[in-house]
Structure 1
Amino acid sequence: MARIAVIGAGMGAMAAAARLAVAGHRVTVYERAETYGGGVRRFERDGFGFDTGPGLLHLPAVYRDLFVKTGKEPLERCVGLTQVDPASRHVFADGTAVSLPNASRAGVVDALDEALGKGAGERWAAFLNRARDAWDRSRRPLLEEPLPADVSVFSRDPYPALKTGLLRRTAATLAAVGRRELGDERLAALLDGYALAYGLDPATAPPSAAVLPYMEQTFGTWYVGGGLRALADAVYERCLARKVEFVFGTEVTGVVEKGGRAAGIELAGGEVVEADHVVAGAPVPALLRDRVVAWERQEEWPRFASEVRTGRVTVCLALRGAREADAAHRTVVHSGDLAAELTTLAPGGPLAGPPTVVVLRPGDPALVPDGGHEAVTVTATVPAGEPMAPEDVWSGSPQWVEEFADRMVEAAEAAVPELRERLLWREVRTPADTYRETGTHQVPAPAFAGVEGALLPAANPAPLPGLYFAGGWAHPGGGLAHAGMSGALVAGLIVEGADFRGSQ
């Protein structure tokens, strides 16, 4: 039985902890905050509840596998899971709207043809077929296997972009794929919206990000009863059932090195806790910035999604009046000025133009004081500074933060009838809140091949033997499902050692 110290109680770290405990190891989690879940949080006030991190679950099989492998109770006995249908409603700049059914390729084709004109669905279906090729080429090495020592294999983009123009060149970015291959500005905006939802600038995201709409429209979109925080509760309870120990309100200030490998952790009060392995579930940029792990020889440390510069602003809206019965759970209101929005996302860009917003209307009675009220969240992707910098531009200018929130609410009116007339109060959360809860202002993106490996996160085994990275800043990257996969990979590497070749 090995002693394992886990830094942070995020979803990836807890997933690793539960699996390691089942394997017979003694696992203790040290979390600087007073609660678990990392970025999967809930804001509550006056009987209203809001998910302030992710609001929907994709690839629920990741957490089904976690619960099967760590106990007798399957996931569905621990949380209520329902498919969201329609999966999403989209409102475009010209006022056109379309609702896309959940996990139905044929239904999506029909819906796009009806809303955008005949042929739109066929073009989108042809694009998804190419996205499927990219998924098939990258799924196992980028999601289910540890990163190899030589990551040059991921330098080439797996998306088979069409060759167009006189020079027969392929598109170099996701935005270019949309413009060249979809033949409709609204379809291109639909594709851009998937990148923005994951904190990616479509003008710089690689074509391989085409797997995002493919995953959603193939495997479906799910809601957890009580909100995504209920999933964090369930994972935490599973850890406790497997005898994982948690120490909250305790900051880890260093990883102890002995004999050329990780041998424990140092706490803020100076106490040293010995361990045979250390799992770092906190964001890798924060671990390096705060020198929790040594990095005198920077070239030895892996990339940690250093291209990510975006975070999220979330506006929680408490509304009087019941949600209409046929309201869409998720509506994406696309920006009327995409050029201005992409300028905003560029490093140092101003907050110009109306943002693309994602409006979530769960209709969950657990999130409202009674049936005569509604809880709505509105989210936008925004610039959030350098990953290694502790400074935060969002905390110093409350006036323009509120002005930006005003623009978000104005956009959300396309999804919520009479929104401003129904508004009781609102709470604005910015990258400053993300920093306070997780140690970084950014929200990590999933791992993608292409762009010379610039969007590959940290490998799970650190350069220091005995130290492992889990969570959204580690392979295979950001997103709730990806974080769960990272926990499975770390557990496999510790239990099976260097011979571990990935999840089965």
Structure 2
Amino acid sequence: MAGIAVIGAGMGALAAAARLAVAGHRVTVYERTATYGGAVRRFERDGFGFDTGPALLPLPAVYRDLFVKTGKESLEDRVELVQVDPCARHVFADGTEVALPNASRAGVVAALDESLGGQAGQRWGDFLVRAREAWDRTRRPLLEEPLWPDWSVLAAREPYPAVPHKRLLRTRVAGTVAEIGAWELRDPRLAALVEGHALAYGLDPRVTPASAAVLPYMEHAFGMWYVRGGIRELARAVYERCVARRVEFVFGAEVVRVLEKDGRVAGVELADGTVREAEFVVAPGDGVGLPARADGEVALQRSLPSRVTVLLALRGGRPEGTAHRTVVHTPDRDGELASLFGTEPSVPALPTTTVLRPGDPALVPDSAHEAVTLGAVVPAGAEITEERVDALVSVAERAVPGLRDRILWREVRTPADIARETGAAGGSVPAPALAAAGGRLLHPANPTALQGLFTVGGWSHPGGGLPHAGMSGALVSGLIVEGPQFRGSQ
């Protein structure tokens, strides 16, 4: 039985802590803020409640596995999962709308054919078949196994089976998300649909590898889920599972240094000078205060964008049949990408905006009110002016007519808020790891150059997102419990 120090109480760290405690280790979590969950936070005011980080859960099997492996209660014993249907409503630049069913390829094909015509549904369905092949090729080595020293295989190989395309007497295949949209989907609305999945993670579709096709595939194959009461309830359930397995939590404790002795981790030093010994240390993967990484060449070398979130308390109830999630696509695609990914990034004038309308009685004071959340990608460190917030509300009115007149109050969550809560520079939000592109979108492996030190969470393998955080915790616990011979989940 080893003493293990876990730095931070994000979702990946909590997942690792619970699994390590069940394996018989003494686990202590040191969290610099006053609560758990990392980016999974909640804002409450006047009887309204809002998720301020992730709001929907893809691939819930990751957390179901966590609860099965750490105790007798299932995930559904601790939280209520609701499948979101339709999965999303999309409002395109030309005013066309479509509601896509959850986890139904046939339903999605039919909905797209009816709304867009021109066999759009069939083209999207064929794309999902190819995306599934990319998923099957990368799922295990990219998500379920540690990132081995031969990671360059993932970096060089493009797993997406692009369709040959004749262009100017040359045969070419799509190598990026944007090229999939232009050459294979051949409809600006379908292109917006596939590019939107990359953009939602702060990725530029013009350079993001075609392997990102796995992102829409995950959504359509496994569905999108809502946790009744908000995603914060998932964080609470995982935290309580840790406490039940006798994980010790020390809040308000900032770790400033990882200690080493004779080439091995020896413990951690807190901001107040206290030293805590440990045989293993599990740390966030952003590298703050950690020794140099031996595998730094596979880390993301650029700062990913951040998010702006606008929380709206509305008078008037949520109409029956309202979609939980609506994506309003920008009318100026080129302008949005130039703003976000140009040499001098700025907040787009008309950003692609996600509108969340949960319809959960737990989030409103009564049925005569509604809690709505608006979200958009913005540059890391961006200052969010009132003018930009007003523009976001205007974009959202394409999905919610009369929205502005219903607002009682609004609360804005900026990149600075994300930076304060998570410690990420500029409030950057990590993207999931993706294959190909020379390894540019892989994340550092969980083991480090210092023996006994492992990293967990969105800035380490396998990257950002709620499912990936849970996978990261499983990988780290497996490497500590089983050692270098660990080969991932079976």
TM-score range, shorter chain: over 0.9
Instruction: Say if 2:295 is the partner of 1:311.
Output: no
Distance 1:360 1:195 in 2: 19
SS in 2 for 1:5: strand
Contact 1:307 1:454 in 2 (8 A): no
1:300 Cα deviation (Å)? 5.3
SS in 2 for 1:168: strand
Instruction: Say if 2:224 is the partner of 1:224.
Output: no
Contact 2:295 2:444 in 1 (8 A): no
Question: Structure 2 matches for 1:21-420, cutoff 5 A?
Answer: 21-155=21-155, 156-164=157-165, 165=167, 166-280=169-283, 282=284, 284-285=285-286, 287-288=287-288, 292-295=289-292, 301=296, 303-346=298-341, 347-384=343-380, 392-394=381-383, 401-420=385-404
Deviations 1:66-108 (A, max 9, x none): 0011111100010000100000000001100000000000000
Deviations 1:314-372 (A, max 9, x none): 00011000000110000000000000000111142333431001110000011111111
Kindly report the root-mean-square deviation, in angstroms, between the aligned alpha carbons of the 2 structures.
Answer: 1.2
Unaligned residue ranges in structure 2 (runs of 5+): none
Distance 1:306 1:9 in 2: 25
Instruction: Say if 2:453 is the partner of 1:457.
Output: no
Contact 2:346 2:378 in 1 (8 A): no
SS in 1 for 2:327: strand
Identity in percent: 66
Unaligned residue ranges in structure 1 (runs of 5+): 385-391, 395-399
Deviations 1:265-295 (A, max 9, x none): 1110111111010001x3x33x33xxx1123
Distance 2:442 2:449 in 1: 16
Distance 1:83 1:103 in 2: 9
Distance 2:260 2:385 in 1: 43
1:167 Cα deviation (Å)? 2.0
The TM-score, its normalising length taken from structure 1, stands at 0.94
Distance 2:84 2:231 in 1: 14
Contact 1:305 1:455 in 2 (8 A): yes
| Greater alpha carbon shift after TM alignment, 31-40 vs 42-51 | 42-51
Distance 2:487 2:162 in 1: 30
SS in 1 for 2:473: helix
Distance 2:65 2:313 in 1: 36
Contact 1:305 1:444 in 2 (8 A): no
The TM-score, its normalising length taken from structure 2, stands at 0.97
Aligned AA (1:61) = A
1:239 Cα deviation (Å)? 0.3
Deviations 1:362-409 (A, max 9, x none): 00011111111000111001111xxxxxxx342xxxxx5221111111
Contact 2:348 2:378 in 1 (8 A): no
Deviations 1:417-438 (A, max 9, x none): 3101100011111111110001
Distance 1:471 1:318 in 2: 32
> Which one of the candidate residues 420, 430, 454 is aligned to 1:468?
454
SS in 1 for 2:37: coil
Contact 1:145 1:501 in 2 (8 A): yes
Contact 1:261 1:465 in 2 (8 A): yes
1:197 Cα deviation (Å)? 1.4
2:475 matched to which residue of 1? 489
Aligned AA (1:232) = A
Structure 1 runs, 4 residues or longer, greater than 4 Å off: none
1:219 Cα deviation (Å)? 0.6
1:237 Cα deviation (Å)? 0.3
Aligned AA (1:414) = R
Distance 1:189 1:308 in 2: 24
Contact 2:259 2:269 in 1 (8 A): yes
Distance 1:120 1:300 in 2: 43
Contact 2:340 2:348 in 1 (8 A): no
1:445 matched to which residue of 2? 431
SS in 2 for 1:484: helix
Contact 2:347 2:382 in 1 (8 A): no
Distance 2:347 2:415 in 1: 14
Distance 1:73 1:444 in 2: 31
Contact 2:311 2:374 in 1 (8 A): yes
Aligned AA (2:397) = E
Deviations 1:106-164 (A, max 9, x none): 00000000000041010001111111110010000001000011211012211111222
1:302 Cα deviation (Å)? 5.0
Distance 1:189 1:144 in 2: 30
Distance 2:256 2:297 in 1: 21
Deviations 1:177-214 (A, max 9, x none): 11110011000001111111122121221110011111
Aligned AA (1:336) = P
Deviations 1:206-233 (A, max 9, x none): 1100111111001111000000000000
Distance 2:303 2:91 in 1: 27
1:172 Cα deviation (Å)? 2.6
> Which one of the candidate residues 408, 411, 428 is aligned to 1:427?
411
Aligned AA (1:32) = R
Distance 1:404 1:157 in 2: 38
Contact 1:256 1:264 in 2 (8 A): yes
Distance 2:294 2:278 in 1: 26
Aligned AA (1:447) = A
Deviations 1:26-54 (A, max 9, x none): 00000000000000001111111110101
